[in-house]
Structure 1
């Protein structure tokens, strides 16, 4: 079984990077699945260069180590809802404005914690939509890229 990213996702991720937006993936998925999806959309999810951290890695790092790692890693796999909250908090503590996308009940705390929570309106749960600031009716990351571009104009 495979649930590949939408064709426009890679272009949208690259456009976000070109606009100075640091795109990261935080997922409960297996590290190999997360790395494959990251590669498909143009994120560095290579665990050999520190691009990917697992929930176990997150738990094993001290506060200072994790503060540094959250700023350099691109993909976080097998992370729990509590770990997502911690990672978002660390990004915010380092001065980042954090937008978080999600669709499930487990994403709701992170959607609420983020500066901008973005829920998926089609596939998302009611809990995720209630926790979010914005609901994407088309469930498409490219819509975020278009919104940022329009907002910056």
Structure 2
């Protein structure tokens, strides 16, 4: 499906509304366009948390936007990553990260809905991230599943390197 967000609408709220109206509960999102203002954050692997948000004041182009839609505790949940470009006092500046919030100038989105694949977000104990998992119909939508690390596999057997000719 194609979704167009107009000037003044806010992400992620406007996109969540459009997806809820279309009953798209799982899928992949791609987009291009322009934003009036944006907030992005980077995930800090050491602390296993998102760092403070960075605010990009003024207009910026959406060079790339991708993400996913899934259910989290029964609600539509988005995870959007963006690469944004804008003019600055020193020339063109790029910024990238998790798109936390934005005010749209004009945005075009392509959503590939997975009607036959229910997805949920589950907390991954190994990374500290909310990750996608295929949702079983046996798990109530109100519960947040957890990903647990798989059992440690044995080290694979490696072939000996070929002998060197003398």
Q: TM (normalized to structure 1)?
A: 0.24
Name the larger-Rg structure: 2
Higher RCO (CA-CA < 8 Å; seq separation 6+): 2
Q: TM (normalized to structure 2)?
A: 0.22
Q: Which has the higher helix share?
A: 1
Q: Which has the higher strand share?
A: 2
